Amino acid sequence: MDMINKEFKSCGFVVCFLFLFFPFLTAQNQQMVDGVAAIVGDKVVLSSDVNQSLAMAVFQQKLDPRKDERMIRSLKNNIINTIVNRKVVLIMAELDSVEVDDKEVDRSLQQQIDNIVQQAGGEEAAEKALGQPLRVFKREYWYDVRDMLVTQKYQQTIMSKVGVNRSDVEFFYDTYKDSIPFFPTTAKIRHLLINIEPSDKQILKTTNLLKSIKNKILSKESSFEEMALKYSQDPSAKNAGGSLGFVKRGTLVTEFETVAFNLKPGEISDPVKTQFGYHIIETEEIRGDKINVRHILLTPPITENDESVAYKKASSLKDSSKTLGRFLELVKKHSTDTETKKSGGNLGWINPETYPIPEFGMVLSQINSGECAGPIRTDLGYHLLWLESLKLGGPAELDKHWTEIESMALNKKQTDWYEVWIKNSKKNVYISINN
């Protein structure tokens, strides 16, 4: 089922989460006999975990095992130490009863899967590289991601006690000003999103088709697997007959999950609407808070008229956006971006040149602070952008870039503090590393 976090970076401490939790499996990895790479307290680090992370690191850094043997060996040691450190933090977090919400785990996992798919060049290529379907990969690595988020949350908690004052910032600037890179031009922006919704006619056609598919399955005219392969628009599940496998409560979107857990085994639902489209769902087995479920997904097509309706609505809202106050009112009332509408569509400070949505950068160069731009068409729909403030780039200046330099100074102080903390914490935990 296909359903912008900031991580703390420390020398010798954090390897990209992608390395640690979502490694590409090579044929060589799959043939390796598993063993114990390290023991940290009551936790075991498997050799397969290390080898998988190493394979991903070698892949990303484009290393040649035949030529870069020494570098790969050093990389492996760094990965082991990183995983050991993470286990130590996890032990400390568990002692302090630190937990994370299951939905937060789902979001982070999906983000990492999206990264893998993008890097591999598509879902099929990602599954081939992973050596397993994405749905299986998602299920197997869910608990690893949870542990990662727990450690991250704990790190943030303990390091929040480390702060900087004005003298700390000034000292950092005086010490490192010659090595601080030029700051890019940044813009503080807000946005209002209007989704492009399918017409009632297309929705009716889609739901009627799903009902017809359901009837064919119930009448034994065709099987669920055959119908999923023929019709489903969920690429990660259709080749598995629509199966998502066993999934834990809290893993799926609310609308889908509510229906799935209320079905009797073997029962097929009527069409269910989610953010992804319309589904018919069959729950095959229930085991406590886990279900074995499959589905067929259809997404109503978007017509030119649907496009026109969304564009006209966005244009009308822009005409009403004469002031920031009015724009905030319209965001609260009309924006379909549930993640940002409560904050007035706030996207924070962005670099227009590197922002993931290039259309934003192109438009922002054409307006002044206090102006509204749009409608802007993206894959998400039509956006209105409000340029709240613009900060021109250039060499680091203490007064001009105080916020950024303060952040750098804080990061340096927290990094230094953390290295001492992890060193001291490791003294209180049994650690055995097998070389």
Predicted pLDDT of residue 141: 80
- In this structure, the number of other CB atoms found within 10 A of the CB of residue 348 comes to 12
Task: Check residue 34 and give its pLDDT.
Answer: 62
* pLDDT at position 99 over 70: yes
Q: Judge whether 88 and 432 are in contact, CB under 8 Å.
A: no
Is pTM beyond 0.75 here? Answer: no
- CA-nearest of 262, 281, 274 to 214 is 281
Q: How far apart are CA 193 and CA 376, in angstroms?
A: 9
DSSP string of 144-203, one letter each residue: HHHHHHHHHHHHHHHHTT----HHHHHHHHHHHTTTSPPBPPEEEEEEEEE--PPPHHHH
pLDDT digits (tens, 9 = 90+) for 40-83: 998 888 887 788 778 777 777 777 777 888 888 888 888 888 88
Query: What tens digit of pLDDT does each residue of 110-156 get?
Result: 888 877 777 777 777 778 777 778 888 788 788 888 888 999 899 98
Sign, Cα dihedral of 46, 51, 56, 60:
positive
Determine the pLDDT at residue 281: 96
Using alpha carbons, list the distances in angstroms from residue 94 to 43, 51, 100, 175: 12, 26, 11, 38
For the CA atoms of 329, 331, 336, 337, what is the dihedral angle to 10 degrees? -130
Residues in the chain, total: 435
Residues 76 and 55: beta-carbon distance below 8 Å: no
Give the pLDDT of residue 12: 30
Average pLDDT rounded to a whole number, residues 158-175? 94
Query: For residue range 265-316, what is the model confidence (pLDDT) as tens digits?
Result: 999 999 999 888 999 999 999 888 888 999 999 999 999 999 999 999 999 9
Domains in the chain: ranges and CATH: 17-159 (1.10.4030.10), 186-198+303-391 (3.10.50.40), 200-298 (3.10.50.40)
Percent of the chain with pLDDT over 70: 92
- pLDDT, average across residues 171-197: 93
